[in-house]
Structure 1
Amino acid sequence: DAMIVAHVGTAPTADQVAALRSVADRVVDPVEAMATRIRDAVGLDELDSESDRTPDRSAESAASPESTDSPISAASPESTDSPISAASPESTDSLESTDSPESTDSPGSADSPGSADSPGSAESARPPGSAERPPRLIRTIRGLSGPLLVVAHDNPDPDAIASAVGLARIAEAIGVPADPCYGGEIAHQENRAMVNLLDLSLSTVDGIDLEEYGGIALVDHSRAGVNDSLPEGTPVDVVIDHHPPRGPVEGTFVDVRPDAGATSTLIEEYLSRLGIEPDRALATALLYGIRIDTRDFTREVSIPDFEAAASLTPHVDESTLDRVESPSVSPETLRVLATAIDRRDVRGSTVASCVGEITDRDALAQAADRLLDLEGIAVTFVYGYMDGVIYGSARARGTDLDVGELLRDALAQAGSAGGHANMAGAQVPLGILEAVAEDESLVDVVEEFVAGRFFESLSSPPTPPSGTTPEAIDADFPD
């Protein structure tokens, strides 16, 4: 990537300031950029700060009249009067100069409590390379030959929906038209309430002409044609996801961070660092996406999830969020839950239940969540079938068992499976299982097949993956 380094001295002209603002997303601090690249290359978690390697010159700079009056100071990233600081990685990520209304309230601005130099700040918690991500994302989107199509995974959950709308908002903020879309259906009553009450505009992949778009982005999943309705092998320009890596990911810009509890957390970070203030609907959707994927900050949660939630909260429509979180429960959900309880197969601290034919696959996830409330249960797996496919959802709490790896080991060879350590899902074609004898029940045949593989893998649990990297990721199953 090209690097633009600007040195304009201590008394820049108005034209110089305007020129810097016009390319703010491409101006970087060369020291910070090189340190980040070296850190990534050698695998160090952190480098000694510049202040540890050089004498403290704060007193000297404070005594200098140039350092206090300069609107742009190449030597002083701490200057609160500087609209653009060439040495400040925070300012280079903003779409606007740091004296704009958007950027002065964003985390990490020079005069905010979240300054990059303050202990415990959001910037200090960000992983290596985080300062380079927003400019690279902007360059990738601006380089497209036409509108951007933002694709969520099939049957999207709140995190996928909010992330798709959020990335489209980022593209539109820099002048690139974007359309968020999804495949399958939005079945869960809370998800439907979220889309309807917040008036979120999303299209379905069916009927979309891909030739009309200059680029494709994937959110909350990472491979075209795997758990989405795109043709397999479709070229992808942007990937933003938080699910654990399992295989290669192709894209011009790839940001996959398994440590984050939700993709919405990553989208919020981009909004903040680029100085884009979300409207109430988007902020509410992103916060809800984070809360759902982290189960109200009790599952797979990280510090950035809390930081993103704190940043979004002032913009959230609380009354609408309350209505989204309290929708009516469908009869199908109650039926599936009742069947799961009635047909439960408990072995130690694990319960599995085949609920037979279903009409709403999302009811499986809700049942798996509720079965975790049973006394002495740490792992749940609820599965059923519809439209020729067996669907399953697994949950875990208070155990070292990785249910994502467990389902992969048990069912990936027969279909597709994966997810996180505490939440995972599977899809297996019924295939020849549908050809049951007259004296057999399809429910019993499915239960024998799935439960047999599940408990066999449970008897010798697979080892969780280690050394994950953004360049390797498998399909996710976010239910």
Structure 2
Amino acid sequence: MTIANELGRGRFLSTIERSRNIYITTHINPDPDAIACAFGMQYLLKKALRRKSVIIQSGVIGRAENKALISECGIKSVDASTVTVTSDDCLILLDAQHVNSNYPFRRSVRPEIVIDHHPLRAPTYTLPFYDIRPRYGATAEILVEYFKQFGIPFSRAVATALYYGIKTDTANWSRSTGHDIAVCHSLAEHIDDKMLSRIEYPELPVDYYRQIHKGLTTAVRYGSIITVHLHALPSPDYASLIADFFLRAEDVHWVFVTGRLADAVIFSLRCTRARENAGDVIKALVGKQGSGGGHSNSAAGKIPTAGLTEAELEKIEHELVAKLLKRLHGRIIVGDLFIDTASNRTV
């Protein structure tokens, strides 16, 4: 269902028009694609339908680039814990679906509108309006089409945010399609280059360098696979940040990074070759212990760990690596430290 056809457009408009309040939310710990979509949707509703809306944020904004995106664009949001969504309100969910574990509300709080680029989940069929396009590299691409359908020009800030959201979700277009690139080309003339530069190259906190150091000193290489256990994380974003960092290593095709939050072990998986789907691999690793999923080249998951001992946490991390090696290599193999500090050698 899309607003490109009369039925979809009618459902979208009627859902908005009959609502008392409009709330916009994304998955927990939003990434640039999710942040940009929320900002873009709020602007679109204001300009196209003259409706005010509130952006609801849940989780942690940890990466310096994400903080810069919010600051540069002047994005205002409220915490999910402060909002009560009623049946008279319209909740718009972007870059996620309400049956996912990263949905910020209880399952009983159902969104009226869902726009996402992840694979369609069956319960989403029951919602008043949904637009799911898994062939798109980023949900921001769908928002760009909505602007065009409604004939609303982009502001510099909105165009820059959407452009950055697409760029990051496709890893600088390294896992993009022709459509992803075409959408970015259509946005290019509207973006603020200086704003984009400030978002992409913000000042970095000391924690960033601590996590890089921890990753470099603990990374283990198994042929074309690198695994890293970061243990305690200052922010959940660092698992994916370190995974992206190591994926650029020569002759490395898979990177698996784990980290610990207060009540969960989280993990991020990246790959450069689509022999196996990263999302499917994560689901196989997690099993019934937790939740996870993603795309062909990137995925993430988590396992609840409240009350577990240090030994139990380490067991979970080691079992995840063992499952990964069996899945990708067919057997458990012996690895070497990525950087052998004793011999000053990189394996």
Report TM bin, short chain: 0.7 to 0.9
Deviations 1:313-332 (A, max 9, x none): 22211111111100122222
After the TM superposition, which segments of 4 or more aligned residues of structure 1 sit over 4 Å from their partners?
none
Whether the 8 Å CA contact 1:260–1:305 is kept in 2: the answer is yes
Opposite residue 445 of structure 1, the aligned amino acid is K
Give the conservation status (yes or no) of the 8 Å contact 2:94–2:114.
yes
Moved more, 163-172 or 420-429: 163-172
Which residue in the other structure is 2:73 paired with? 198
- In the TM superposition, residue 182 of structure 1 has moved relative to its aligned partner by 1.6
Aligned to 1:352: 227
Pairing 1:277–2:153 present? yes
One-letter amino acid of the structure 2 residue matched with residue 296 of structure 1: N
Match of 1:265 among 123, 135, 141: 141
Q: Specify the alignment match of 1:229 in structure 2.
A: 104
1:114-263 to 2 correspondences below 5 Å: 130-132=4-6, 135-136=9-10, 138-172=12-46, 173-211=48-86, 214-223=89-98, 226-249=101-124, 250-263=126-139
Unmatched 5+ stretches in structure 1: 1-39, 41-127, 462-479
Taking CA–CA contacts closer than 8 Å with sequence separation of 6 or more, which of the two structures ends up with the larger relative contact order? 2
Query: Per the alignment, in what secondary structure is the counterpart of residue 303 of structure 2?
Result: strand
1:354, distance to aligned residue in structure 2 (A)? 1.0
Deviation string 1:244-282 (CA, Å, 9 cap, x unpaired) is 235431311111101001000000100011101121111
Q: Is the 1:224–1:230 contact (alpha carbons within 8 Å) kept by the matching residues of 2?
A: no
Residue 317 (structure 1) aligns with: 192
Partner of 2:328: 458
AA matched with 2:21: P
Alpha-carbon distance between aligned partners in 2 of 1:451 and 1:133, rounded to the nearest angstrom: 48
Contact 2:254–2:272 (Cα < 8 Å) also in 1: yes
Corresponding residue number in structure 2 for 1:415: 290
Identify which of 169, 174, 198 aligns with 1:293: 169
Contact residue 60 and residue 235 of structure 2 kept, 8 A: no
CA distance in 2, matches of 1:380, 1:146: 46
Q: Tell me the secondary structure at the aligned position of residue 275 of structure 2.
A: coil
Tell me the amino acid that sits aligned with residue 303 of structure 1: G
Q: State the superposition RMSD in angstroms.
A: 2.3
Q: Does the CA contact (< 8 Å) of 2:97 and 2:103 recur in 1?
A: no
Deviation at 1:431, TM superposition (A): 4.1
Summarize the alignment of residues 82-97 of structure 1 with structure 2, pairs less than 5 Å apart.
none
Instruction: Report Cα offsets for 1:140-170 as digits up to 9, x if no partner.
Output: 4344331211111111111101111212222
Deviation by residue 1:114-133 (Cα, 9 ceiling, x = unmatched): xxxxxxxxxxxxxx994447
- In the other structure, the counterpart of 1:27 is none
- Identify, as 1 or 2, the structure richer in strand: 2
CA–CA distance in 1 between the matches of 2:161 and 2:177? 19
Does the alignment pair 1:400 with 2:275?
yes
CA contact (8 A) 1:402 1:421 kept: yes
Q: Counterpart of 1:211 in 2: which secondary structure?
A: coil
Displacement after TM superposition at 1:429 (Å): 1.0
Structure 2: which amino acid aligns with 1:267?
Answer: L
Q: TM-score, normalised by structure 2?
A: 0.87
Residues of 2 paired with 1:400 and 1:133: CA distance? 39
SS at match of 2:288: coil
SS at match of 2:82: coil
Deviation, 1:178, is 1.6
TM-score, with length taken from structure 1: 0.64
Separation of aligned partners in 2, 1:411 and 1:284: 36
Post-superposition shift, 1:213? 5.4
Please give the alpha-carbon distance, in whole angstroms, between the structure 1 residues aligned to 2:15 and 2:42: 10
In structure 2, what residue type is equivalent to 1:297? W
Is the CA contact (8 Å cut-off) linking 2:29 and 2:61 kept in structure 1? Answer: yes
Cα distance in structure 1, aligned partners of 2:177 and 2:236: 28
Residue 307 of structure 1 and its aligned partner are, at CA, apart by: 2.7
Hey, what's the Cα distance between the residues in 2 that align with 1:153 and 1:308?
23
Mark the structure with the bigger radius of gyration. 1
Partner of 1:326: 201
Give % identity: 26
Letter in 2 for 1:451: V
Stretch of structure 1 that moved more, 211-220 or 159-168: 211-220
Task: State the 1:376 CA deviation.
Answer: 1.4
Matched position secondary structure for 1:391: strand
The structural deviation recorded for 1:208 is 1.0
- Is residue 2:254 matched to residue 1:379? yes
One-letter amino acid matched to 1:416: S
Counterpart of 2:31, as a letter, is D
Kindly tell me: are residues 144 and 224 of structure 1, through their superposed partners in 2, closer, same or farther at Cα, counting changes over 3 Å?
A: farther
Look up the match of 2:335: none
CA contact under 8 A between 2:273 and 2:297: conserved in structure 1? Answer: no
Q: How many residue pairs were aligned? A: 329
Are the equivalent residues in 1 in contact too, given 2:45–2:52 (CA < 8 A)? yes
